[in-house]
Structure 1
Amino acid sequence: MRKLAAFPLLYSIIIPFFLVSCGNNTESVLPEPEKEEEVETEDPNAPPKTWRENWLEHELLLTRQYYNDSIALYYDEDMDEKITWPRRALTKIWNYTWKTYGGFGPDTRLRVALHGGTYGGGHPGYYLSNSHGYINIIDAGLGTNRWLDSIGEPLDLITHEVGHIVEGNSYNTLNSPAFPIWGDSKWMEIYQYDVYKGLGWTDKATSWHNRMLLVSDNFPRTGTFWYRDWFYPIYDQYGKTAVLNSFFKLISEHFPSTSIPNGRRYTRNLNFGEFVHFWSAAAGSDLKQLALDAFGENDRNGNNWVTQFEQAQVVFNKITY
């Protein structure tokens, strides 16, 4: 997949485990509803029927396939219009995310651009950034036939990109100060599990959980299991969905930021000790030992984060646990 850009504005999605097929049972997660009502096309507030891309190298004319109060879904000409499951999946994912993480600006609609092969990978855009015109959007591309699978790679791809909107501008603050620490996919591993579980997609959540338990990385040290040894224990023992939301709320309230049009922007990134400190505050418990067990004493640059952690407790002493 083509790498599009780096955070804070855009991402390429690079997740090797997407290559695991989930078969051709395209509707087991999202069965067709008895009746799917379209919003009246003459609605004066309807999104435009066509939309020309004007970001990165993207310049295709997109056609609106569906919209409601939550999403506006567009396809390029290579997408099969008969593929309708993204309507239901994205409506559910976005509504759950909006409710869980406190909303993302004055416009409730998520714009979605799906490509059938011209552009690969995925990236988000944020309502606090002009990269896509101050809107929340996900843009994702796969080969046309791969979009037939509604429970495997395509579902994981679009959910992943929505997760970047959470880390990129939740609580009215732009950027992800934790991105240099957890990279493109580590936060998504627990976010996606929570979404699948929260939406009652039990088989999907279980399958995802079992896969993530096996995923290891070489940062901050070789053999790090981010999901198994860090995120899932925090999620399971300290409040589940609430602890994930609490992390973003706390950094928006206490981490350095500056005013920008319509919101705020973080002015620097977290160091690893601050990262552990804020997660400890979110959990309401000192997670130093859990972090030592999961990551060792050094960050990916070889710095001892325990010293940073102790300093963070002094600098950010209004958050306690």
Structure 2
Amino acid sequence: MKKIIYTVFYTLGALLLFQACAEDDSALVTGEPDSVVNNDPEGSPLRGLSESWNGHDEDVLRQYFDVSAAVYYDPEVDRSIEWPFSFFSDSWAYVVENYGTYGQNSLLYVVGHGEADKSSFFKTHFEEDAENRSLIDHPITASSPTGAAIDEPAALMAKVVEHSSNGVHKSPAEAIWQDKFTEIFTYDLYLKLGLESEAERVKAEFLETSVDFPKADTYWFRDWFLPIYENYNGSVTLSNFFKVLSTHYPINDTDYAKDMTLGELVHFFSGATGADLEPLALEAFGFDDQNQQELLIARGRFPNLNYPFVPASELIDVTSEGLATIEVSKDNNGGPTAAEGSLKLIDNITEGNNKFLTGGFPQEFYMQQNFEFPVVVNRYSLTSGNDVPGRDLKDWKLLGSKDGVEFEELHSVSDETFASRNLTKNYEFENSTAYRHYRIVVEANNGDGNLQLSEWRLLNLKLITFGPQDITDFANTSVSRENRNGATSNEASFRVTDGDTSTKFLLFNFNNPEWIQQEFQNPQRVTQYSLTSANDAPGRDPVEWTLSGSNDGTTFTEIDSRSGQSWSSRGQTRTFLFTNETSYKYYRLEILANGGDGLFQLAEWRLFAE
């Protein structure tokens, strides 16, 4: 078993470590360890603890410790019982190796009681009543590590893992599987510790164990966990599940924000294995229509999990929904409202002689759709006019811009032909950036002196999403006061919503309150937001603020407030959830205090709407 030895123990020397452990084995007349002379290495767990949690109020004394576990006994535990020392040390060393770290030093505290009917429970490093320790508390009465003597603490260790892996508190899956994760955890643990007979014992027991959730006669171990374990890389997949969960599932500060549905559980385990587990779920759980809908919603809400599936999507006509306006570099001689003026380009009529026509070609020509608010486009269609094919577009580029000045190329076409009149052709390209201006630059037509086009539609094939989605890219951002170097400078206000956490908005001479505002084309019901600390001095970070909503930009209603906030590192993103049943067009973040510096900074502010 691989053991992790901390640097502090190396620096003090192996001799001192062994001496400290040996001291715990010495005893006074009472049979309790000698705690008169404290020669423990610096940072060692306390020699004694006074319980003040879960109705326990006993004083317990340390019997053993190393870099993985510290074992404590109450006065009733038989001091000749020493098997817990190596069992918990080896067990927790494996947990840390496979599942990751838990708290500052990943030490497991084990509190043993000599009364067989003493209640058992676990604590995580998130809980202050146990002084932020990973801790299990249970009876230790058996003379050997077999059967129930190790099954109960193994299940408690599983709960610590389930409720505190990857730096996130609580278990959203517990609402679905209840205590069933403890079974596969225990089986895997015994195998990894070389306890083959114990592993076979619990396997036989778990294979025959059925429960009535999520439906009657459900065999979680036999039909779900064991097939995943045996077919998808064993404990690696168990660890991956918690990693994928911590990366993608909603988190409110340090806690998971909600319980999972069965469809979400299947989706996230699929992400952990890299395979679609829906067929396995059908066999294990029945997976009725409601569960199928839950899976569909999960795939729409969390589309970035790494396994093959086709998320539901919808095609949006951005030209119509975004209320586009049209401009061209050279209009019809009769103007935009003429029978063949530029307004015909986006009137959504593709039949007959309805078209845009301009003369004097070849020439430098562009047509451009403009939007009041940014929109995402990843498709477009062009419909040929009713007349001479030589007037059709042949070579062109599609460009996007946020400000109407700087354009980026998104797509290009060469040597295009339209085989018939009023023929619509569709073009696709990769793009997830929202722009306010989309421009087609026509570089050549098919040889005529005139240019014609019946219709130009901008489209977006959008995943159907459920739950809070990031809507920041569709907002116009404004502030109470701009960076002193101007609105286009490297640390100007637009940086706070540019999607790049390595940039920031910086204000000199911070004079609270200061505000940042996002404005949307249509009201949005926001239920969470995130703030990312910037790269520089923590004293510039926001500490106290309010979030308010408005539909006229004048009268605001406070919908969330925070105080005493801090960031543990630079570039850290923290998410804040709140209850809101009202849709607003304007959302204003008002900074009431920072960390005491004369400057204010924020790398990113994102809004998420239902």
TM-score (norm 1): 0.82
Provide the C-alpha distance between the structure 2 equivalents of 1:267 and 1:171, rounded to a whole number of angstroms. Answer: 15
Of 149, 159, 163, the match for 1:154: 149
User: 1:28 maps to which residue?
Assistant: none
Provide the C-alpha distance between the structure 1 equivalents of 2:120 and 2:136, rounded to a whole number of angstroms. Answer: 7
For each residue in 1:114-173, what CA deviation from the matched residue of structure 2 results, as whole angstroms up to 9, or x when unmatched?
11117534211111221311111111126x3xx223111011111111111110010000
Provide the C-alpha distance between the structure 1 equivalents of 2:238 and 2:19, rounded to a whole number of angstroms. Answer: 34
Provide the C-alpha distance between the structure 1 equivalents of 2:213 and 2:203, rounded to a whole number of angstroms. Answer: 20
Give 1:304-319 correspondences, 5 Å limit: 304-319=290-305
For each residue in 1:228-276, what CA deviation from the matched residue of structure 2 results, as whole angstroms up to 9, or x when unmatched?
00000011001111110110000000000022xxxx2111111111011
Cα pair 1:123 1:139 within 8 Å, conserved: yes
Of 212, 236, 239, the match for 1:242: 236
Provide the C-alpha distance between the structure 2 equivalents of 1:306 and 1:224, rounded to a whole number of angstroms. Answer: 18
Give 1:203-214 correspondences, 5 Å limit: 203-214=197-208
Deviates more, 1:127-136 or 1:94-103: 127-136
User: 1:48 maps to which residue?
Assistant: 46
Give 1:16-35 correspondences, 5 Å limit: none
Amino acid at match of 2:290: N
Cα pair 1:281 1:320 within 8 Å, conserved: yes
For each residue in 1:182-223, what CA deviation from the matched residue of structure 2 results, as whole angstroms up to 9, or x when unmatched?
11x200100111111112221211222121111111111111
Of 113, 116, 122, the match for 1:115: 113
User: 2:219 maps to which residue?
Assistant: 225
Higher relative contact order (CA 8 A, sep 6+): 1
Of 266, 269, 280, the match for 1:276: 266
Cα pair 2:83 2:144 within 8 Å, conserved: no
The answer as to 2:164 corresponding to 1:169 is: yes
Cα pair 2:119 2:138 within 8 Å, conserved: yes
Of 93, 96, 117, the match for 1:95: 93
Q: Residue 107 of structure 1: SS of its match in structure 2?
A: coil
For each residue in 1:96-116, what CA deviation from the matched residue of structure 2 results, as whole angstroms up to 9, or x when unmatched?
001100111212321110111
Structure whose residues are more often strand by fraction: 2
Deviates more, 1:62-71 or 1:111-120: 111-120
For each residue in 1:13-41, what CA deviation from the matched residue of structure 2 results, as whole angstroms up to 9, or x when unmatched?
xxxxxxxxxxxxxxxxxxxxxxx945255
Cα deviation for residue 78 of structure 1 reads 1.1
Provide the C-alpha distance between the structure 1 equivalents of 2:215 and 2:237, rounded to a whole number of angstroms. Answer: 25
- Number of equivalenced pairs: 274
User: 1:65 maps to which residue?
Assistant: 63
Provide the C-alpha distance between the structure 2 equivalents of 1:103 and 1:47, rounded to a whole number of angstroms. Answer: 17
Provide the C-alpha distance between the structure 2 equivalents of 1:50 and 1:169, rounded to a whole number of angstroms. Answer: 25
User: 2:434 maps to which residue?
Assistant: none
Q: Residue 174 of structure 1: SS of its match in structure 2?
A: coil
User: 1:39 maps to which residue?
Assistant: 20
User: 1:12 maps to which residue?
Assistant: none
User: 2:330 maps to which residue?
Assistant: none
Cα pair 1:175 1:266 within 8 Å, conserved: yes
Cα deviation for residue 66 of structure 1 reads 1.0
Q: Which runs of 5+ in 2 are unaligned?
A: 1-16, 24-38, 308-610
Amino acid at match of 2:91: I
Structure whose residues are more often helix by fraction: 1
User: 2:187 maps to which residue?
Assistant: 193
TM-score (norm 2): 0.44
RMSD across aligned positions (CA): 1.7
Cα pair 1:128 1:174 within 8 Å, conserved: yes
Amino acid at match of 2:143: L
Amino acid at match of 1:242: V
Of 173, 181, 184, the match for 2:176: 181
Provide the C-alpha distance between the structure 2 equivalents of 1:214 and 1:73, rounded to a whole number of angstroms. Answer: 34
Cα pair 2:52 2:129 within 8 Å, conserved: no
Give 1:290-305 correspondences, 5 Å limit: 290-298=280-288, 304-305=290-291
User: 1:13 maps to which residue?
Assistant: none
User: 2:252 maps to which residue?
Assistant: 258
Identity of aligned residues (%): 32
Provide the C-alpha distance between the structure 1 equivalents of 2:265 and 2:305, rounded to a whole number of angstroms. Answer: 13
The answer as to 2:278 corresponding to 1:288 is: yes
Provide the C-alpha distance between the structure 2 equivalents of 1:187 and 1:283, rounded to a whole number of angstroms. Answer: 16
User: 1:24 maps to which residue?
Assistant: none
Q: Which runs of 5+ in 1 are unaligned?
A: 1-35
User: 1:27 maps to which residue?
Assistant: none
Provide the C-alpha distance between the structure 2 equivalents of 1:247 and 1:209, rounded to a whole number of angstroms. Answer: 21
Amino acid at match of 1:305: N
Amino acid at match of 2:229: Y
